[in-house]
Chain A
Amino acid sequence: MSEIWSALGKAMVLIADFDPDLVEIIGLSLRVSLTAVLIAAVIGLPVGAAVALFRFPGRPVLVVLINALMGLPPVVVGLIVYLLLSRAGPFGVFNLLYSPTAMIIAQAILIGPIVAALTRQTVEDLWQEYGEQLTSFGVGPGRAVWTLLWDGRFSLLTGVLAGFGRASAEVGAVMIVGGNIDHLTRVMTTSIALETSKGNLEIALALGIILLIIALGINASAYAIRDVAYRTES
């Protein structure tokens, strides 16, 4: 128990010191995970909504597939992306392995299904509620995609935040495709793994506490934005 308290103290010292290495690591973590979330949202939101509103052959299979992909282990995603980006792999010529771009790709693949699956459920529920009304106004599923995405934006924000949570917390994928290279691909979670393997459990835990504080900050600001948006509307 005393280790946890001293880790808490260490975390405060690390934050107060504004250690440039730590700032760099936090910056890269945010850059990678936020970019991955953006990509996952740009692809996952329309895909999820389209699956909710259109009826096409193979749709149930797609729904099950997207739901199942939510459970993909990060290390498997990392391995697949590694094999694709490796010099010996199909995209080797782009020289992307062991770069932040590789980490973004891996995390986007990891969280895309989460955003898509949660979007599908939200939009499907909205369609059940307003579908008849929309149809009576002559709004078909094609236009309804955007209407319902906009309508459900507050619920969808939770899905996007869930995706961000998974991205910023995972270590398996970024470790394999990023390589935990100092000053290049080292992020919060790979630093925590490295410090743990050095037996520096307190520093590792201190970094974990800082990661938690960042996650709290991002979720709090998302909540605040949502709150303001609600009030200006009503």
Chain B
Amino acid sequence: MTLASLLRAGLAALLLTATFASPGGAQERSVRMLSTTSTENSGLLSYLLPIFESKTGIRVHVVAVGTGQALRGARNGDADVLMVHDKASELKLIADGHGIERREVMYNDFVIVGPRDDPAKIGGTNDAISALQMIKKSGAVFVSRGDDSGTHKAERRLWRAAGIEPEGRSDPWYREAGSGMGATLNIAAGMNAYTLTDRGTWLSFRNRRDLEILVEGDPPLFNQYGIMLVNPAKHPHVKAKEARALIDWITSPEGQRAIGKFTVEGRVLFIPNFRAKGGS
């Protein structure tokens, strides 16, 4: 008797979920994009996507996560489009057959921020690599994303170029936050520490306290974004048609112009740089 009532309860629960959870209204055309926190937090996507949506009637559902998690999601086929900024991993994804038709969309840049009193005296240097060497020498605290994101990987590349391989375990001045960009900035602001951030997140970040930009404009700090389709041959449920419409629009002259027009505090954040044959 108890088993039967349990079964009945389970069935009722399932039915309830179905009625409660089914999205109301007609089935709208939509596409799911895995992207990074930097594009979402800066406000670029909430400015850009409504233009595309009103033009095509295709809703874009953005899941903003770290690049590592986004790549993993694409591998699992949990989205239709992927837009991230770690070229090496993107090319690996394509080599493994999970992504196709990659196009370069735009770039933004990283900046090194730190406390106003600047104990490592890096303010005024235009050289990101030597700035990192000076931070290490001064013993001032540097907060790393430590989350395997695109920004974290870029930061590790810069350290390697500086000839330093800091480890959280053996280098007490190097703290791995293991968090998103905003959370890492909150930590750096709280500790009065240095960190590497993309300019977009920085400009729209509202809890800077004593932090300010100390190093910017150095070419190694440039950060390329790529967009690609999750391979429908491998993941048959991918909405290839809608996804291609999105990719085509973002790389169209109109989409590119819109990216270039997006500003925060009067500054252009993302520089469109799609070239028809630049994709791979």
Contacts and interface: CB of A to CB of B under 8 A. Distances in A.
Interface of A: 31, 35, 38-39, 42-43, 46-47, 50, 54, 86-89, 92, 95, 97-101, 104-105, 108, 142, 145, 179-182, 184, 194, 196-201
Nearest to B42: A198
B78 A87 contact: yes
Given A87-B78, A87-B237, A198-B182, A98 B63 contact: yes
Given A142-B1, A196-B183, A197-B183, A38 B16 contact: yes
Contacts of A197: 37, 41, 180-183, 186
A35 B20 contact: yes
Interface in B1-29: 1-2, 5-6, 9-10, 12-13, 16-17, 20-21, 23
Given A87-B76, A87-B77, A182-B46, A101 B208 contact: no
A91 B155 CA distance: 37
The 9 closest A-B pairs by CB, nearest first: A197-B182, A199-B207, A179-B63, A87-B77, A101-B21, A199-B206, A88-B76, A199-B205, A39-B13
Nearest to B235: A87
B13 A142 contact: no
Given A46-B2, A104-B21, A179-B63, A39 B78 contact: no
Contact of A43 (B13, B21, B77): B13
Contacts of A50: 2, 6
B32 interface: yes
Nearest to A86: B76
A198 B204 contact: yes
A98 B5 CA distance: 31
Would you call the interface of chain B mostly helix, strand, loop, or mixed?
Answer: helix
Contacts of B206: 198-201
Nearest to A95: B237
A181 B40 CA distance: 11
B93 interface: no
B3 to A, nearest CB: 9
B61 A181 contact: yes
Interface of A is mostly: helix
B20 A31 contact: yes
18 contacts: A39-B16, A42-B13, A43-B9, A47-B6, A50-B6, A86-B73, A86-B76, A88-B75, A145-B2, A179-B65, A180-B63, A180-B64, A181-B62, A182-B46, A182-B62, A184-B61, A194-B41, A197-B37
A39 B17 contact: yes
B205 A101 contact: no
A87 B65 CA distance: 17
Contacts of B204: 198
B185 interface: yes
A101 B18 CA distance: 8
Given A99-B21, A142-B2, A182-B46, A198 B76 contact: no
A35 B1 CA distance: 26
Contact of A198 (B41, B61, B237): B41
A40 B265 CA distance: 48
A197 B65 CA distance: 12
Contacts of B185: 199
Nearest to B40: A194
Nearest to B202: A199
A105 B16 CA distance: 12
A54 B104 CA distance: 64
Nearest to A202: B206
Residue of A95, A184, A201 with highest tally of chain B CB at under 10 A: A184
A1 B219 CA distance: 42
Contacts of A101: 17, 21
A142 B46 CA distance: 57
Interface string B71-84: 00101111000000
A46 B16 CA distance: 17
Nearest to A181: B61
A97 B207 CA distance: 33
Given A43-B13, A86-B76, A198 B62 contact: no
B21 A46 contact: no
A201 B205 CA distance: 10
Interface in B157-206: 180-183, 185-186, 189, 204-206
Contacts of B16: 35, 38-39, 42
Nearest to A87: B77
B102 to A, nearest CB: 20
A43 B237 CA distance: 33
A43 B180 CA distance: 37
A103 to B, nearest CB: 9
Interface in B47-85: 61-65, 73, 75-78
A199 B182 contact: yes
A41 to B, nearest CB: 9
